[in-house]
Amino acid sequence: MKKIIIALLLLTAISLSAKIVDITVLYTTDLHGNFLPVIDYDGNENVGGIIQLSKILHQQKQKFPNAILVDNGDTYQGSVTSYLKQGAPVIEWMNSEKYSIWNIGNHEFDWGIKTLAKNIKDFSGAVLCANCHWDGKSPSPLAFVKPYVIRKIKGVKIAFVGIVHPNIPLWSRQKLIKNIVVEQPLNALLRVMPKVRAENPDIIILMAHTGLDPEANELEEPLQEVIDMFSDIDVVIGGHTHVMIPSMTFNKVLFTEAGYHGIDLGELHLIYDTDSKSLLKKHARLIPIEPEENFKINAFPSVKTALQETETYKTQIVAKIIGKLGGLNENVTESPEQTLISEAIADASGAEIVFHGAFSCPQIISNENITIGMISKIVPYENFIVTAELTPNEIAGIFDSILEEWGETSFLFPYGLKTKIDPESLPGERIISLKNSRGKPLEHGRRYKVAFNSYVAASAGGRFNKLRSILERKSSATIDTDVSTRNAVINFLKKKKVYKTHTAKCIEQIKQEPGAFAPVTSSTPLRPGAVKLVEFAYMLPGDRDVEQAGEWFVVKNESVQNINLKGYTFSDGDEGGTFRIKKNVQLAPDENLVFCHTAEIFRKHPYAQNPYLRLFEYGKLAGRLNLGNRGDELMIIDPQGRLADEVVYGPSKKKWPNWPASSKSPNHKVGESLIKTQGGWEVNKEPLTLW
């Protein structure tokens, strides 16, 4: 009897254990071809790298022998070793580690379609990208790419779906991507997900080469749209944004992202009940790849050979540097690095003007021989030179749009020009003076050869759309050269042999602060601008907080282009009643912006219930801005200190008929506002809620 009971207990235990399975997914992302240890963004040395990561990867594979291994893109671009062999060493390493799935990243396109097609063909696992397809002649370079793949692990069907960031056409020139079409992920998955569901998967994992925006601490918009639409996605493995996210939850979806350059290995666990067909638990963690003591290059022969060839190539001496290059994590001003890159591009292309910035380069090169490896730190990307023949007006238009990013890292300085600017002024008014390098005005009627790198010429992800649109004009005679910006620097320094560092000053910044405020009178000069006061309301006297919360005024952009309100000042002419906008506040053509003292209290009023009202709260900036009931003034001062618009109201029978001068009440009902019409200011009969 005891034997029977023991046998039954064993059978029960086996049965129970068969119901619950633990599925492990090991993943990497954004390796960027880095075999050797790297310095991370926080300055930690000798972390990550494929070789050190491999050791931890082997340990985890021994621990979880049924684990599936996947990579989430930006896999091979980014190191000299990978560049010399066009990604082949990384693909060979992935095959040796038996990677099952590779999701394409945006940097896979950096070396052209032929290179990508070869690496796709050479990879032994499945290659994913649901939102890329070929729209050219056969054979397609993406013939082996699938939108999704099914993997069966321990009896559980897992669908892996792959997407890449949709901005590839805004980062890469047509010369590189040819006839590749990159869709918005949401559009592609509306077509793909029904096919995925038809496979009846138990678990759906989205491999997304788009991730968490570290500045906003939220998912990038294309990914958030997907998560909002598809509630049956269980896990998102993110990438692209180079952040370390062990585990976060968005709309019940687990999100995880394993940094960059192999500094972390991602480990995902899915606890699944095979009887009830339910995912009981999902959790993820990141395993840091820390510095090894006595680090040695333990890699298979082809990678060892590639690394040896890389060392020979990187240590080639190019020139003698007199002075200093590098040493900065950010490059926001004119610098020796920016000057060197621009000089080299001008030399290689024959351009008279070069728009280019400088990249972060922590390594210091000071009064010593510079090698190709050092130059690769100064110019880390394989962008190509793009030239165009542009008129002075086109050059000014491009530079004015670039000034939107004044003060940002890698700002595009106009090498070959002498300029005076006020970056806080209005679009179209930021350039005060634009001359050539000899201080002479640009000649109208002639075209100048202007150079950019290919990333900028593609619009830099939509940041420079005006620049791109100008380059696409037939009259611009735009040429995509085969010369990379890095090779341009190498060849330039080789010719120089000895290079003395210097900074070419091309920008003089002139700051024009707003002038002093004086009471508005009939003789006050008015300089009408595109930003207009179109509505305002003042309330019955009462408690200051309540009274001010019930007041508002509205400005409108009456131009045909976006206007940035940064630098604009608003004032009632009284002490404590003035504030200046110090951040970027974009106003689209015909868009209204409602200014109120306290948004929370303002929203409680019936006329402020419209959730689509765009508000700007000024209470903390100008606590005493108060529109008087017996008359007052309200002024808009542009960034140059000029009066752009104003309203003066009060007991004037001519301007304000029916004004009850003997009363403290306004001449309209509480909750009604005054709007600007062709005939003057009139009571608005349409509530604010109907906007």
Lowest mean pLDDT among 269-283, 324-338, 490-504: 324-338
Between vectors from CA 407 to CA 406 and to CA 409, what angle results, nearest 5°? 110
| CA–CA dist 187, 168 (Å, integer) | 16
CA 103 vs CA 187, 240, 265, 516: distances in Å: 18, 12, 16, 59
Q: Which domains does the chain have, with CATH numbers?
A: 23-305 (3.60.21.10), 316-509 (3.90.780.10), 531-690 (2.60.40.1260)
Q: Give yes or no for residue 574 having a pLDDT over 60.
A: yes
Burial class from Cβ neighbours inside 10 Å (0-12, 13-18, 19+) for residue 249 reads exposed
| CA–CA dist 416, 198 (Å, integer) | 60
Half-sphere exposure of 51 (CA within 13 A, CB side): 20
pLDDT interval class at 541 (50, 70, 90): low
Pairing relationship of beta strands 507-509 and 417-421 according to DSSP bridges:
parallel
Give me the mean pLDDT over the 155-183 stretch. 95
pLDDT interval class at 590 (50, 70, 90): confident
| CA–CA dist 286, 26 (Å, integer) | 10
Helix (H, G, I), strand (E, B) or coil at 69: strand
Which is higher by pLDDT, 114 or 642? 114
Lowest mean pLDDT among 10-24, 244-258, 355-369, 450-464: 10-24
- What local confidence, expressed as pLDDT, does residue 383 receive? 95
- What local confidence, expressed as pLDDT, does residue 589 receive? 85
- What local confidence, expressed as pLDDT, does residue 296 receive? 79
Lowest mean pLDDT among 195-204, 239-248, 369-378, 627-636: 627-636
Query: Which helix (H) or strand (E) element contains residue 334?
Result: none
CB 353 within 8 A of CB 414: yes
Give me the mean pLDDT over the 480-489 stretch. 97
- What local confidence, expressed as pLDDT, does residue 14 receive? 44
The string of pLDDT tens digits covering residues 386-417 is: 999 999 999 999 999 899 899 888 899 999 99
Q: Give yes or no for residue 15 having a pLDDT over 50.
A: no
- What local confidence, expressed as pLDDT, does residue 504 receive? 95
Q: What backbone torsions phi and psi does residue 56 show, to the nearest 5 degrees?
A: -70, -35
Query: Which helix (H) or strand (E) element contains residue 210?
Result: none
Structure tokens at 317: 């001496």
Q: Give yes or no for residue 249 having a pLDDT over 70.
A: yes
The most confident of the ranges 15-29, 455-469, 661-675 is 455-469
- What local confidence, expressed as pLDDT, does residue 547 receive? 59
Burial class from Cβ neighbours inside 10 Å (0-12, 13-18, 19+) for residue 399 reads buried
Q: Give yes or no for residue 681 having a pLDDT over 80.
A: no
Q: Give yes or no for residue 566 having a pLDDT over 80.
A: yes
- What local confidence, expressed as pLDDT, does residue 336 receive? 96
- What local confidence, expressed as pLDDT, does residue 664 receive? 37
Which is higher by pLDDT, 668 or 368? 368
Structure tokens at 408: 């940002």
CB 618 within 8 A of CB 570: yes
Q: Give yes or no for residue 102 having a pLDDT over 90.
A: yes
Strand partners, 27: 70, 266
HEC profile for 492-506?
A: HHHHHCEEECCCCCC
The string of pLDDT tens digits covering residues 275-323 is: 999 999 999 999 999 999 888 777 667 788 899 999 999 999 999 999 9
- What local confidence, expressed as pLDDT, does residue 572 receive? 80
pLDDT interval class at 633 (50, 70, 90): confident
Q: Give yes or no for residue 602 having a pLDDT over 90.
A: no
The most confident of the ranges 242-246, 331-335, 360-364, 508-512 is 242-246
CA 410 vs CA 26, 332, 397, 586: distances in Å: 35, 6, 19, 22
Helix (H, G, I), strand (E, B) or coil at 180: strand
CB 365 within 8 A of CB 326: yes
Helix (H, G, I), strand (E, B) or coil at 606: helix
Give me the mean pLDDT over the 492-514 stretch. 89
| CA–CA dist 691, 615 (Å, integer) | 13
pLDDT interval class at 425 (50, 70, 90): confident
Q: What is the pTM of this model?
A: 0.72
Query: Which helix (H) or strand (E) element contains residue 347?
Result: helix 336-349
Of 216, 258, 229, 243, nearest to 161 by C-alpha is 229
- What local confidence, expressed as pLDDT, does residue 11 receive? 42
| CA–CA dist 21, 29 (Å, integer) | 26
- What local confidence, expressed as pLDDT, does residue 673 receive? 65
Q: Give yes or no for residue 257 having a pLDDT over 90.
A: yes
Strand partners, 269: 24, 283
- The DSSP line for 116-167 is HHHHHHH-SSEEE-TTEEE-SSSSPTTTTEESEEEEEETTEEEEEEEEE-TT
CB 71 within 8 A of CB 40: no
The string of pLDDT tens digits covering residues 210-246 is: 999 998 889 999 999 999 999 999 999 999 999 999 9
Helices 50-63, 88-96: axis angle to 10 degrees equals 20
Structure tokens at 182: 């990159």
pLDDT interval class at 453 (50, 70, 90): very high
CB 632 within 8 A of CB 570: no
Q: Give yes or no for residue 623 having a pLDDT over 90.
A: no
- What local confidence, expressed as pLDDT, does residue 688 receive? 54
- What local confidence, expressed as pLDDT, does residue 132 receive? 97
Give me the mean pLDDT over the 79-98 stretch. 95
Give me the mean pLDDT over the 359-368 stretch. 91
Of 620, 636, 650, 438, nearest to 553 by C-alpha is 636
- Tokens 């990497």 belong to 28
Mean pLDDT of the chain: 86
Q: What backbone torsions phi and psi does residue 389 show, to the nearest 5 degrees?
A: -100, 110
Of 566, 594, 565, 596, nearest to 582 by C-alpha is 566
| CA–CA dist 29, 73 (Å, integer) | 6
Query: DSSP character for 86?
Result: T
- What local confidence, expressed as pLDDT, does residue 95 receive? 97
Which is higher by pLDDT, 22 or 668? 22
Give me the mean pLDDT over the 144-155 stretch. 97
Helix (H, G, I), strand (E, B) or coil at 44: coil
| CA–CA dist 281, 507 (Å, integer) | 58
- The DSSP line for 379-441 is S-S--EEEEEEE-HHHHHHHHHHHGGGTTSTT--EEETEEEEE-TTS-TTSSEEEEEETTSPB
- What local confidence, expressed as pLDDT, does residue 651 receive? 52
- What local confidence, expressed as pLDDT, does residue 661 receive? 35
Q: Give yes or no for residue 549 having a pLDDT over 80.
A: no
Strands (E), 167-263: 180-182, 203-209, 212-213, 218-219, 235-238, 244-250, 253-258
> Any idea how long the chain is?
691
Edge to edge, what strands does the sheet with 353-356 contain?
413-415, 353-356, 448-453, 384-390, 479-484
